[in-house]
Structure 1
Amino acid sequence: MLEVLGLTAQATEVYQAMLDHPAHGVDELSAHCGLSPAEVHSALDELGRRALVRASADRPGQVRAVSPEIGLADMLAEQEAELAARQAQLAASKAAVTRLVADRAEHRASHGERLLGMDAIVGRLERMARETTIEALGCQPGVQRPEDLAVGKVTDAEILGRGVSIRSLFQDSTRNQPHVFTYAHWLLSNGGEVRTAATLPSRMVIVDRRQALVPIDPDDNRKGALHVTEPGILAALLDLFEQAWNTAVPLGTTAPGDPATGLSNTERELLRLLGGGLTDDAAGQRLGISSRTVGRHMASIMERLNAASRFEAGIKAAQRGWI
């Protein structure tokens, strides 16, 4: 079960055996775990690198298992710090891309083209799909319209049939939208990859790392799009997508809650957005959920904090390091 923390199955088995039988040496661990002495030594080396074993004071030349309360807590803290660093990098990249795309959208150049209206956007997407030979990346925040997914499914089926890989990002809220869930599982069953996250960057489609579509107006992607082929903008968009992808959760698995606070990713992000001054409607739009759902999340958080008001909940959440 410790494989989720990055330990191999053999290291996990040896660690658990050491906790249950502190006096066991290599030979006893080998017999107990059904591993060769060399495999036990390899597992001990791995546990040592993870600071889960230390030199024994009672048995010179041997090691003892560090208690899970200390060793595993340190590993969790390390992973949380890495995740926080990636999220901070994602936020900085998002801001940089937003500024860059906004600047480029102000004037037409040989490497960029403004497409106004859904017909122009759909036409360009069809053209990009015909031209793709390697991969298609899609970031699709917010509520998805069934008719848009139906059109996209036809295109996706065609390019998947040509061996093109597809990676799609949706928001966690889409797990509760039956038509999106059905489409996502269809994509998975046909070789595509799907992940979800509480919040996502702006909508984007990137094909073969050579061309991309981004909305002219992030608040209304149906107004129009900017077709981008400039290497500098593409590199920034790709970096933003990959960072979002690496922090998202594969469809079919459950997003882990914060072990220290019990908050889900959506709840933590909601606290951050409301703490930043957004209204329920604005925060819900960023998370792809209704203001009523925002209210239910906040009621649950207030109950856990034993807070009588949102103001009190904000203070207590800050005191506990939740935001």
Structure 2
Amino acid sequence: MLSRPELGVLELCGALGLPEEEVRASLDRLADLTLVRQSLEKPGQLRVLSPELALEVMLHRQEQDVLRQQQRLAAAKLAAAQAIAERAARRPSFDDGTGADVLLGLDAIQERLESLARELSSECLSVMPGGAQSQASLDASRPLDEVAMDRGVSMLTLYQDSVRNDPATLDYARWMSEGGGQVRTAPLLPPRFLVFDRRIAVVPIDPANTRRGALCTSEPAVVATLCAMFFQAWETAVPLGAGQPGEGLSGNEKLLLKLLAGGLTDDAAAKRLGVSLRTVRRQMSSLMERLNARSRFEAGLKAAQLGWI
């Protein structure tokens, strides 16, 4: 149209080898962009703007679009900031100056963990007692752990020895190890907690029922104590790929003997070890057979004589 302004719609179809429907649709698009206009000299015909004027029109339109987008973005940021401020005002929290928040329910905990994971810069310490972890917990943790490891964050995780008997948890632990994380296991662990960059800690309100909620605190004394507990357990824990130590008994079996010798019932020992009651009884039966003992008391005596406990 710039080189041959005299061509009408049908002539354009012939010159371009395009169907009339496609040419008219293109002309409508050019008109919408104000790049072609009705001719004042020849009513019914279209004239095309000069390249210089057309470029100026297009740039002006794009500038207006960018301005409107910036205005929408600013409005969205303001609305988000207001919503966050309102939610923070309603969120239950301690008012004792410790900088601690109470997170009620799994959704609130997951939301805070996602936020803390995004802010992680160097290290995350995790204690995961109770043996096998639920599939829902593993699924929720995977994307957070993956993003952190991709950023080079040091991920140190402690599981109980019994996870070695749970395929799902064991696969997850191996996946973390392959991704650059460090995983160790121990027969007995402190209650569940997480520490982010040795700065913020998240601990369950009720260790026996982690679904109830959690406490998120930045109190230095609390965070330092939890870090000390973690590394004390870490030093004696066994790396995931190292297997269990020998000496006739696994660490889990040694601890089982000590717990039962200390007067704990099978059920209480199972809870401490993060295994099922059936597992405790099976392990005890195996120990009695290996020690050639007729009673648990006799098994305890023989184990002590062998230096196992």
TM-score, with structure 1 as normaliser: 0.63
Of 262, 270, 289, the residue aligned with 1:284 is 270
Deviations 1:120-172 (A, max 9, x none): 11111111111111111111011300111111001111111222111111111
Tell me by how many angstroms 1:320 deviates: 4.5
SS, match of residue 242 in structure 2: coil
Q: What code does the residue aligned with 1:119 have?
A: D
Tell me by how many angstroms 1:287 deviates: 1.2
Corresponding position of 1:312: 298
SS, match of residue 139 in structure 1: strand
Deviations 1:79-124 (A, max 9, x none): xxxxxxxxxxxxxxxxxxxxxxxxxx99964322222211111111
Q: How does 1:172-321 map to 2 (within 5 A)?
A: 172-258=161-247, 262-321=248-307
Structure 1 portions without partners, runs of 5+: 1-104
State yes or no: 1:126 paired with 2:118: no
Tell me by how many angstroms 1:313 deviates: 2.1
Residues 118 and 223, structure 1, Cα contact 8 Å, conserved in 2 = yes
- Aligned equivalents of 2:154, 2:282: Cα separation in 1: 38
Q: What code does the residue aligned with 1:286 have?
A: R
Residues 108 and 114, structure 1, Cα contact 8 Å, conserved in 2 = no
- Aligned equivalents of 2:104, 2:264: Cα separation in 1: 30
State yes or no: 1:117 paired with 2:105: yes
Give the share of equivalent positions with the same residue, in percent.
54
Tell me by how many angstroms 1:319 deviates: 4.7
Tell me by how many angstroms 1:236 deviates: 1.0
- Aligned equivalents of 1:178, 1:141: Cα separation in 2: 16
Corresponding position of 1:164: 153
Residues 199 and 218, structure 2, Cα contact 8 Å, conserved in 1 = yes
Count how many residue pairs are aligned between Structure 1 and Structure 2.
216
Corresponding position of 1:145: 134
- Aligned equivalents of 1:111, 1:276: Cα separation in 2: 40
SS, match of residue 115 in structure 1: strand
Instruction: Evaluate the alpha carbon distance shift between residue 106 and residue 276 of structure 1 in structure 2; reply closer, same or farther with a 3 A threshold.
Output: farther
Q: Larger radius of gyration, structure 1 or 2?
A: 2
Residues 202 and 218, structure 1, Cα contact 8 Å, conserved in 2 = yes
Residues 94 and 101, structure 2, Cα contact 8 Å, conserved in 1 = no
- Aligned equivalents of 1:316, 1:255: Cα separation in 2: 22
CA-based RMSD: 2.0
Q: What code does the residue aligned with 1:217 have?
A: D
- Aligned equivalents of 2:106, 2:95: Cα separation in 1: 20
Deviations 1:176-235 (A, max 9, x none): 111111111211121111111111111111100000111121212222211121111111
